[in-house]
Amino acid sequence: MQLVLERRAERSTKIAILSPLLAIALTLVTMSILFAILGKNPAMALYVYFIEPLTDSFTLMEIAVKATPLVMIAIGLSLCYLANVWNIGAEGQFIMGAVCGSYLAVVTNGTDPGPWVLPAMLLMGALGGALWAMIPALCKVRYGANEILTSLMLVYVADLIMDYLVRGPWRDPQGMNFPTTASFDPVATVPTLFETGRIHWGALVALIVVALAAVMLGRTIKGFEIRVVGAAPRAAAFAGFNSKRLVLFTFAVSGALAGLAGIIEVAGPVGVLQPGISPGYGFTAIIVAFLGRLNPVGILIAGLFLALTFIGGEGAQISMKIPLDLTKVFQGILLFYVLACDSLILYRIRLIASPKKAIHGTA
Amino acid sequence: MLNPASASSPSARAPLLQAIAMTKRYGSFAANDSIDLDLYAGEIHALLGENGAGKSTLVKTMYGLIQPSAGELRWMGEKLELTGPSDARAKGIAMVFQHFSLFDNLTVAENVALGLDGVESFAAMSARLAQVSRDYGLPLDPNREVWRLSVGERQRIEIVRALMQNPKLLILDEPTAVLTPQEADQLFTVLFRLKSEGRALLYISHKLDEVKRLCDTATILRGGKKISTCDPRKETAASLARMMVGAEIGEVKATSARATTVPRLLINDLSLEPDDPHGVHLKGISIEVQGGEILGIAGVAGNGQDELFSALSGERLAPHEDNVIIDGHAAGHLSVTDRRKLGAAFVPEERLGHGTAPRMKLSENALLTGHAASHMVHRGFVDKPKTLETVDKTTKTFDVRKAKRDPEAVSLSGGNLQKFIVGR
């Protein structure tokens, strides 16, 4: 017997939907084995990871809070990946968005400047993220530099810039030397949606972003351009689409969305600019984008699912002493299976009985 | 050492390879529908048919590249199930593809070594390569890099590589498409020699004169079905063509040229540096095309046709804007989109990946070239019914055969996709 990957004449829509679910199932099996090796009860661990957070209104809201930046960043990244542009540095764009937006909050701190501050901060955040993303985009278009490397390396530059600012010029004078800015004024804070819990208006912004992306990809010529450039570059050039301009466009949009997510995170749930504002949202969003099949609605669902792993991971650390790093292992395994299962969309697996080795004459 | 062990004479009428009721379905579409074919040693067998008739599918099945949906192959009377091309090669079936599978940056000998399944040393292989190419009058320098070679020389590598496996059956897919008439004559000498050695040859071609000159038997396919097997030497080119298309071919009459005051297309002294190191430099090209005129560009493939096409379509811009003049407008600096707005339309050589995006639906591929000049886009939004309308209209006018209303481009056969591209 022999396993053969056979190309399908057309991509299978059924498998396109099933593939992420299959990937999740395989991940859960692998995780169970890992839990067992660590000496934990797999059933118990999976319950703490994936079910328990769904049983409590507080953790449900926390899932939405965590999903907000993930979804916003992943939507931007999906535009890049559809166009075959590999922005890996969303984490850096997230941080630079947070830094640029925070600038206004820091300089107006304690002066009660009025309600214009928050919108201006959001704008600055988006702009900061977009400009940071333009560095790898321009390097690629102008000099042919590989955007995977440049965008990734700029993450660490952004991280250090923020580190310098909160330890140096922007440090809170009353902060007992902790590396953090002063708490943002209420006018510089994203309001929460309800009296209790941390869920904030940013969650609605994320939903609007999902809707806009769905319309753009499905209905507009720009969305079509993005898909053609990614799927068949030469056909796109033949159609008259300019692939260089599209690199700049997708980087700018994804940078702006990451930056916006950054400033919303800082001005919302966190409330100050400080190191560690992101538990790797920019990187996890890459998994969200692929798990969601680079489709806006899929990304929304995938974002909520990965937010669940963050919350579940914290719960598992507290109640079962499972290391928090296992959450990252989980996310890595998930991405691995998602990409593997994707091959089933274009290929089918067939078992073929290997023919007898008949020998004919001598050649 | 090159004589096949079973060098039986052609008169011993036992087929070397027998295809019985070969069928290959893609979804509900049958690319091959119950085709029978007998190939005999010492015979050149022609496979004729229009684009999309199923020729490529049939030979790919015989070379183990495609698994048939039904039917069976018999090799010297025994049932044959191929698991892949290497299996086919082991049996003694070799194939020379229309599109070469060579690495430009490797030498001739390295390319040949990569294509062989054997275990002999590189030195022994090189010696054998020199021997085979000398024996058959196919001169090759084993140490030259492929990108320095002409198209004819590249084909020689493919043929020598196939011969080094000492095949009993050699399949050639449109081998003369890329050759000059002189090179084609050289190739025919080699083919006659192979035939006289008792090998079977399956020869795919469109050129009926060649087939009449070269082949002993011809099988004609149409729409995936076998129409007939005949002796091409006893047929006329017209009768062969009639069997291929299934209808009398009307004499093509040019409608009287509409008098145009300005030429539709004018190329003035166009020179263009290639943008990749293996490309061709265009030098001082001037062409004028009037309305109602068809202008052919002759030349062996790979001598600048691609580059000229890019310069005409606007995928590459000309140095001066009046190098290319479309309908009286200087277009040398215009983009593809702007040239389409001037009323130009383009059909590139490469159907998949250049003319169409393979994994996109036909309606989306209609939008690909129609987004500028037709009314498919309103304020940035795509009018989906309009794109589907274009697909339906093209399907009707040009008889595009497909399995459903709006399939992906890649699922169409080459010929049908070509009709769609011309139609849109």
Nearest CA in chain B to A361: B5
Chosen from A1, A224, A349 to mutate, greatest number of chain B CBs within 10 A: A224
Q: Which residues contact B263 (CB under 8 A, 6 or more apart)?
A: B288, B289, B290, B291, B325
pLDDT of residue B253: 56
Same domain, residue pair B328 and B356: no
Amino acid identity of residue A314, one-letter, is: E
Whether A234 contacts chain B with CB within 8 A: yes
Q: Are residues B234 and B312 in the same domain?
A: no
Evaluate whether residue B120 is within a structural domain: no
Q: Which residues in chain A are contacts of B4 at CB distance < 8 A?
A: 363
CA distance A120 to chain B (A): 29
Gap from A88 CA to chain B (nearest CA, Å): 25
* Predicted confidence (pLDDT) at residue A90 exceeds the cutoff of 90: yes
Does residue A360 carry a pLDDT above 50? Answer: no
| B338 min Cα distance to partner chain A (Å) | 8
CATH at residue B300: 3.40.50.300
What secondary structure letter does DSSP report for A361? S
**In a domain? residue B103:** no
- Please tell me whether residues B383 and B264 are part of one structural domain: no
Cβ separation of B407 and A220 shorter than 8 Å? no
Token pair of B325, please? 């003049």
User: What is the pLDDT at residue A142?
Assistant: 92
Extents of the domains making up chain A: 1-37+329-353, 59-321
Does residue B408 share a domain with residue B311?
no
Cβ distance of A363 and B382 shorter than 8 Å: no
Between the alpha carbon of residue A304 and those of residues A72, A77, A94, A200, the distances in Å are 12, 17, 19, 15
How far A345 CA lies from chain B's nearest CA (Å)?
12
Q: Are residues B201 and B310 in the same domain?
A: no
Residue where one domain finishes, among candidates B305, B330, B346? B346
pLDDT band at A191 (very low <50, low <70, confident <90, very high): confident
What is chain B's pLDDT, residue by residue, as a tens digit (424 residues)?
A: 444 444 444 445 688 888 888 888 877 778 888 889 889 999 999 998 877 788 888 888 889 888 888 888 898 888 888 888 888 888 889 998 877 778 888 888 888 888 776 677 888 888 888 888 888 888 888 888 888 787 778 888 888 888 888 899 999 988 887 777 888 888 888 899 989 988 999 998 878 888 888 888 999 888 888 888 888 888 888 888 888 877 655 555 555 555 556 778 888 888 887 766 666 788 888 888 887 778 888 776 667 777 888 888 888 888 888 888 888 888 888 888 888 888 888 888 777 778 888 888 888 888 888 887 767 888 888 888 888 888 888 888 887 777 778 888 877 777 778 888 888 7
- Is A239 within 8 Å of chain B by CB? yes
Out of B280, B314, B346, a domain closes at: B346
Residues 375-404 (B) with a CB less than 8 A from some CB of A:
377, 380-382
Share of chain A above pLDDT 70, in %: 93
Least confident of A77-91, A98-112, B243-257, B303-317: B243-257
Residue B267 lies in a domain: yes
Number of domains in chain B: 3
Q: Which helix or strand (DSSP H or E) is residue A4 part of?
A: strand A2-7
A240 touching B (Cβ < 8 Å): yes
Question: Are B84 and B215 within one domain?
Answer: yes
Check CB contact of A6 with chain B, cutoff 8 Å: yes
The answer to whether B224 and B30 have CB atoms below 8 angstroms apart is yes
The secondary element (H helix, E strand) that includes residue A347 is strand A347-352
Min distance B336 CA to chain A CA atoms (Å): 5
Distance from the Cα of B382 to chain A's closest Cα (Å) equals 5
B340 and B360 fall within a common domain: no
In Å, how far is A356's CA from the nearest CA of chain B?
A: 9
Chain B residues touching residue A362 (CB < 8 angstroms)? 5
Whether residue A287 is predicted with pLDDT greater than 50 in this model: the reply is yes
pLDDT, one tens digit per residue, over A27-45 is: 999 999 999 998 888 899 8
Nearest residue, CB atoms, B411 vs list A9, A219, A355: A9
Half-sphere exposure of A132 (CA within 13 A, CB side): 38
Q: What is the pLDDT of residue B277?
A: 62
**Partners of residue B76 in chain A, C-beta under 8 Å:** 360-361
Domain span at residue B320 reads 260-346
Pairwise CA distance, residues A349 & A331, whole Å: 26
Round to whole Å and give the CA distance between B9 and B264. 59
The closest CB to that of B5, out of A232, A234, A363, belongs to A363
pLDDT at A198 over 90: no
Phi, psi of B325 (to 5 degrees): -125, 115
Does residue B324 sit in the same domain as residue B409?
no
Question: How far apart are alpha carbons A146 and B360 in whole angstroms?
Answer: 27
Mean of the per-residue pLDDT values of chain A: 88
Contact B348 A221 (CB under 8 A): no
Q: Look at residue B254 in the predicted model and tell me its pLDDT.
A: 53
If asked whether residues B340 and B398 sit together in one domain, one would say no
- Claim to verify: residue B400 and residue B269 sit in the same structural domain: no
Q: Among B212, B245, B278, which residue terminates a domain?
A: B245
Closest of A221, A80, A84, A249 to residue B368, by C-alpha: A221
**Range with the largest mean pLDDT of A148-152, A199-203, B140-144:** A148-152
- How many beta carbons lie within 10 A of that of residue B409, not counting itself? 25
Question: Could you tell me which residues come within 8 angstroms of residue B327 by beta carbon, excluding any fewer than 6 positions away?
Answer: B262, B264, B265, B342, B343, B344
Mean pLDDT of A332-352: 80
A59-321 has which CATH code? 1.10.3470
A237 touches chain B (CB under 8 A): yes
Measured between CB atoms, which of B67, B338, B357 is closest to A232? Answer: B357
Q: Is the pLDDT of residue A103 over 90?
A: yes
A195 in reach of chain B (CB within 8 A): no
pLDDT on residue A79: 95
Same domain, B180 and B322: no
Per-residue model confidence (pLDDT) at position A353: 60
Closest residue of chain A to B334, computed from CA coordinates: A240
pLDDT of residue A248: 95
Interface confidence: ipTM more than 0.90: no
Instruction: Answer whether residue A297 shows pLDDT above 90.
Output: yes
Same domain assignment for residues B395 and B408: yes
For residue B395, the one-letter residue type is T
